[in-house]
Structure 1
Amino acid sequence: MATDENASFCNICLTRDQNKFAEEYCPQCEEALCGDCRYHHKISKSTRSHQTISLEKYNKLPFFIKQIKHNCEEHDCFLECYCKCHDSLCCKRCLISSHKECKETIFIEDFLTPSTGYHSVALDNIEKALKDLETNICSAINMIKDRNRNLTELREQKQKISAQIKEKRHEINTCLDNLEDALLEKASAMENEYCLKINEVIAKLENEKKKVDEIKKDVDSVKMFASNLQIFMGTKTFQENVSTNEMNVQVLYDNGNLNNITMECTFNEKLEELRDEIMSFGDIKVDNSDKHTSFSWNGDKSAQIYKSILGAKTIKNINVRLVCKININVNGLSGCAISEAGNMIFLHEHSNSLIKYARNGEFISKSVINPQAKGIGFELALIDSNTVAVSSGGNYPQHIYLIDMNSTKTSQVFQLGDFCCGLSYSNDSFICCTYMNGIKIFDRSHDNLTNARILPNAPRIVSKTYVTSNKNRIFHTNWRDHSVVCYDLSGQVQWKYCDSILRQPFGITLDSYSNIYVAGSESNNVVVISKDGKQAKELIGANDEISNPRAMYFDKNKNLLLVTNYKGYAFLFNVT
């Protein structure tokens, strides 16, 4: 194919080290032609049927259109047919060698409208839709005003909500402050009461000590200066005074005045429940059902939208071809993903490590997720083309780690506040299979994932299960009852699939058409289910060396399916 740099020169002359400016371009030959070469091109038997265009027109084509090749890479023949069964373009030789049994093959020319040259019906429909859209947009002054009005409303509503939140927070703070003040006041009152009693006891003990000191002083004087008769008679009085002192001290002891007094605080159990059970301050709901404006379409809108001849694949037409088999040589492969560069990332369950392999199956590296932790790691979820999230599983810390798949370095850490096994990422939210709280959805836009909601109708116990999602649906595999369940984003069950063909489902992933691929751990297979849950078939089985499969990942850009056995081996399949 001629590049942008040399498209202005004749490709044929360039091969003869001659620089002649090109005048026309042949899409079938994928070559730019000068005036002389164009003449020979038109009279040559092999190329006289080719339709050339001026170079000026060729240069007006979008870049992605220029990049489309017209010749088969395998046979170097013109691609003129399309096989619906294999979803692929093919030349005449491809039809003979690979598509003899295929019943749904068409000539691309049949898809074009002869009266309009090379403009297909699909392009005509797109042009009509664009014309209607342009008309609507050009007359959309009122719509712009309406959108600006809506912007103002949203800003005012946000300020109102902020004021409501602050007011509610003030009410709660005031209530807690009053309760705190009452408890502190009670503590102060009790302190004063018992301190007063202890001071009274101290005063009594000091008084008794003073009496004892006086008796001792009198005894010393008597011993030194009194006569024997005086000592004999005075001893009785001393005994009475000492007995009185002993009795007074004994009374203090018996009345508990010498008991040690301590204070401690016990909190209301409902405060503990409040702290543990309330996971969010509230929720913000959006109602987008009301419309203040409307579009006007000249024709049937459904007829104007381009309907691709490729279409969504049916389950029966999906097939796989093994690209490579990799011996990871570890037990416990619970997560996998493919980076934009084509490298494969594997998660070793509860080992705090990621293992990286090249697409050809060569080992690249093994890295630690969190140097301060042990035993973490259960599932991977793709965030963007080069970033993957790792759930920590059933061990502390309860984190989600964002990992750069190229460097395998941690770029961000989220405190989850819950154990997380199966993990998916969609609509800027993490969808987590928790240990005891069912499927929880954490909004990433909130700081450190503080806003969470539990998906209604999902089982409460979903530990060690897997989940995946797209913009409209959540798909959950439950090995406990051998089921695959589809929910909408509000938690309503759309369908549930159970069949003996699939036992103990674990890993789950989606292709570009929302077909669901599920790893059957007990049935030793991979089953593909239609997006409506009504059709299914075994795609890969035990004969393909699948044994206790666990984690899976579908690369939508390259149509690759990565499957891992729980023990040791991974398989990369090309899906056609």
Structure 2
Amino acid sequence: MATDEIASFCNICLARDQNKLAKEYCPQCEEALCGDCVHHHKISKSTKSHQTISLEKYNKLPSFIKQIKHNCEEHDCFLECYCKSHDSLCCKRCLISGHKECKETIFIEDFPTPSTGYHPVALHNIEKAVKDLDTNICFAIKDRKRNLTDLLEQKQKILEQIKKKRKEINTVLDNLEGVLIDKVSAIEKEYGRKIEEVIAKLEDEKKKVDEIIEDVDSVKMFASNLQIFMGTKTFQEKVLSNEMNVQKLYDNGNLNNFTMQCTFNDKMEGFIKEIKTFGDIEIDSREKHSSFSWTGDKSSQITKSTVSETLIENIHLMLERKFDICRSGLTGCAMSEAGNMLFLQAHANNLLRYGANGQFKSESRINSKYFQIGYDLTVIDSNTVFVSSGGYSPQQIYLMEIDSARPRQVFKLDDFCCGLSYQNELFICCSYYHGIKIYDRSHQQLTYNRTLNNAPSDVHDTYVTSNENFIFHSNWCDNSIVCYDFSGLVQWKYSDSLLRKPYGITLDSFSNIYVAGSESNNIVVISPDGKQGREVIGPTDGMVNPRAIYFDKNKSMLLIASYNGVAFLYNATYNI
């Protein structure tokens, strides 16, 4: 008898036409027992090994656990074994009749349970996975509520900006001001409603998680070996379903951070009567302030269908745009999430900003007191880059804003710095006198640093890039590309006549390495293991003396700057 709610009468006594209230339940016998029958049950030779539990506790088990049968329906024998080959439970007679050739059979009694002092690994993994799910949902709810607060604060800030700007002109613009205020309110309300809908979905998933947690606790305490063994599959399915629902919210952009910005009409300052708008309200939902962390059993987690690597033969580059920077000596380039491009002139104290369509926007000085500043760029986040000073004093690097090309912070170093890379709070640079140096940004003013073992001491005017595991050095001195781990152990070295005087170096999303061959007038892509290289852009494509290179992983765009002042923007595709 395995039902959602066990009857209150003893099954043994009912068979003898007696009505006695049941006190305990035996999952193996699938019978409710009164006090007298329990006593007999515990001393009987055939049933004394059975584990009984109180009726109240048994009724707390999930219904799918209680519905698991302990006896073979074909032979009416106790199910003692599990056949991995057939993924089925079997009794002794089943083993003889249908599983003689099966080599992977186990006894259910060998499956550890909480009653033996052990937690089944599968059940333990379920607990870890569901705790991860609960943590992620709570964090996501907290993040969405934070975004609601941010939107309200941004609304107030924008309203203040609008009022301030409004006071600089006269009352003729009252109507336009009202239109803009209504727009920011409507956008805040619209996207606030979207966030609240996501919160509601997340809270619904959390309720499901709480139910799983409660069920797991009761199974650990009261379920039999067989029930735990079989029940873990259902738990895994439930947790996987919850994880997929939550991850789907994340993948569909429901946790993207909504940010409002206000842009004013450029003609406002001139107070031209033909002004038709007071400004505009922009919403940015690309940035995520939250991410999910799954530390539980991998079998119960959501597996993303992503390609970890791709053959370099499958890479195709299509020219999107070619434009003239009209400045020679370009040695650094980068792109922002908004599509703005930065170009750096070597030792010219000059940072150039271009729009996504290649139009010139601004020119900024890096250091107002010095002249021969600048060599390379490395992207830090969505709107900031580090700029190296190169081989001229002072020995500094500069934190600059991409979308405004303005300096924000200056760090003093103990050596000149050329090629740059940034990874996990570690700032990697090619110095003039101490080889490749690694600075820890978590220490104030980059005071803690170390030299990468096995790297050459003379790496002036060379470039470097990195990912989470490796550092890739482009050395024009010996025409080589070397891959190090972060301890300095050399993983591989690439050198080929195909690539001469390599300078700029960058990585795509698959850790393929793109290198600018200055003397060979080409772009060469190298496989992550360093065993293969292929020219993807050459002299016949108009490539002459390329020096700086940057791969935008979000857009799969490759930006190239030649030393002669010509820039190329390519779209990268992968035929997988």
Q: Which of 1 and 2 has greater Rg?
A: 1
Question: Which protein has greater RCO, CA pairs closer than 8 Å, 6+ apart?
Answer: 2
Give the TM-score normalised by structure 1.
0.49
Give the TM-score normalised by structure 2.
0.49
